[in-house]
């Protein structure tokens, strides 16, 4: 069981980490207003997930969204991880954060281009670049690549030499790792632009099948409302969360309409009124996504779950 003393994977310096851990060792001070609000509201059921979640498997200590990252996160003591899942051109759910393959794979190299150019791509390239550009040979948008081509890419060499040759991970492979080790998972649905509803449907179908009968199912989340709506319609028994990078008009009504169990926002959006608004009237948990290891305790005092 995770506690506030568990290790934290972050990109911060050792000095910042030491200061962060010192803050974790101090119990949060009670918030009288929040306690009063919660006492007068219907109690929430127990939160089934750990407070600390390894972002993309292991933060930036390993190539993000790979099995190597998940193994490293587990080595540091994490029992839950977050990952980004999108669909290949032929419908295979796999892990990747960006819309394209340029940053975290070798798709732009000559070897990858040569292999991909011989693949029967279901979608024609929409590149409008110069004749000698990479994009003119193959489109680097990940959703246009079939899994047979994606599976040949190096998704680790960009990070460091020790991870060279690490392949992209499938949702099925991550599920096998999590289930074998008793770990929980937050699946962020990352659709190719224009494919939000379809991606939400397919990812929810696979998650429901892979975690069938498991006591602690994965938490499905997305910034794309259409993806969360589709996941809700496809697998209503799986818990859902709405992700926010800004507090746009109607976000709370949308979360309630989709029966979300949590609203997840970056720390810049997390304020005491925001947390209390989530938790008091509609019984939605607020969860903050830390972008720096220096601000966890205020969020907890306001009622954030992690």
User: pLDDT digit string (tens) for 150-174?
Assistant: 999 999 999 999 999 999 999 999 9
Report strand pairing: 262-266 vs 240-244.
parallel
Catalytic residue among 2, 55, 123, 183: 55
Catalytic residue among 2, 33, 75, 97: 97
Cβ neighbourhood burial of 22 (10 Å; 0-12, 13-18, 19+): exposed
Catalytic, 97? Answer yes
Catalytic, 123? Answer no
Question: Can you give the pLDDT at residue 87?
Answer: 98
pLDDT tens column, 13-66:
445 545 555 554 555 444 433 333 333 345 667 789 998 899 999 989 999 999
- State the average pLDDT for the chain: 79
Q: Is the pLDDT of residue 144 over 80?
A: yes
pLDDT greater at residue 197 or residue 275 = 197
| Percent with pLDDT over 70 in the chain | 66
Which pTM was predicted?
0.78
Q: How far is it, in rounded angstroms, from Cα 12 to Cα 25?
A: 18
- Residue in the block written with tokens 């306001």: 302
Q: Which sign does the torsion angle of CA 46, 182, 199, 164 carry?
A: positive
pLDDT tens column, 193-243:
999 999 999 999 999 999 999 999 999 999 999 999 999 999 999 999 999
Question: Can you give the pLDDT at residue 262?
Answer: 87
Give the pair of three-digit tokens for residue 249.
Answer: 């008009």
Please count the other Cβ atoms lying within 10 Å of the Cβ belonging to residue 303.
Answer: 22
Closest to 154 (Cα-Cα) out of 200, 101, 118, 195: 101
């Amino acid at each position: 069981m995770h506690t506030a003393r568990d290790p934290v994977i972050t990109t911060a310096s050792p000095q910042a980490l030491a200061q962060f851990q010192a803050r974790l060792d101090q119990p949060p001070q009670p918030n009288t207003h929040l306690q009063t609000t919660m006492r007068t509201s219907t109690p929430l059921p127990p939160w089934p997930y750990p407070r600390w979640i390894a972002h993309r498997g292991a933060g930036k200590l390993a190539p993000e969204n790979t099995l190597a990252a998940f193994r490293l996160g587990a080595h540091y003591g994490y029992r839950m991880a977050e990952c980004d899942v999108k669909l290949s051109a032929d419908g295979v759910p796999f892990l990747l954060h960006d819309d394209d393959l340029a940053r975290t794979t070798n798709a732009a190299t000559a070897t990858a281009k040569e292999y991909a150019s011989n693949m029967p791509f279901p979608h024609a390239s929409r590149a409008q670049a110069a004749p000698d550009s990479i994009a003119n040979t193959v489109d680097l948008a990940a959703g246009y690549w079939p899994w047979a081509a994606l599976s040949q890419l190096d998704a680790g060499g960009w990070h460091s030499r020790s991870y060279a040759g690490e392949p992209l991970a499938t949702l099925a492979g991550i599920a096998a790792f999590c289930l074998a080790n008793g770990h929980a998972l937050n699946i962020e649905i990352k659709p190719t632009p224009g494919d939000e509803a379809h991606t939400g449907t397919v990812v929810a179908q696979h998650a429901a099948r892979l975690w069938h009968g498991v006591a602690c199912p994965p938490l499905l989340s997305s910034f794309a409302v259409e993806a969360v709506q589709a996941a809700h319609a496809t697998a209503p028994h799986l818990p859902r969360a709405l992700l926010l990078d800004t507090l746009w008009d109607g976000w709370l009504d949308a979360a309630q309409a989709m029966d979300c169990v949590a609203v997840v926002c970056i720390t810049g959006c997390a304020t005491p009124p925001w947390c209390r608004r989530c938790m008091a009237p509609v019984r939605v948990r607020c969860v903050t996504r830390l972008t720096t290891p220096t601000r966890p305790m205020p969020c907890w005092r306001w009622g954030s779950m992690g």
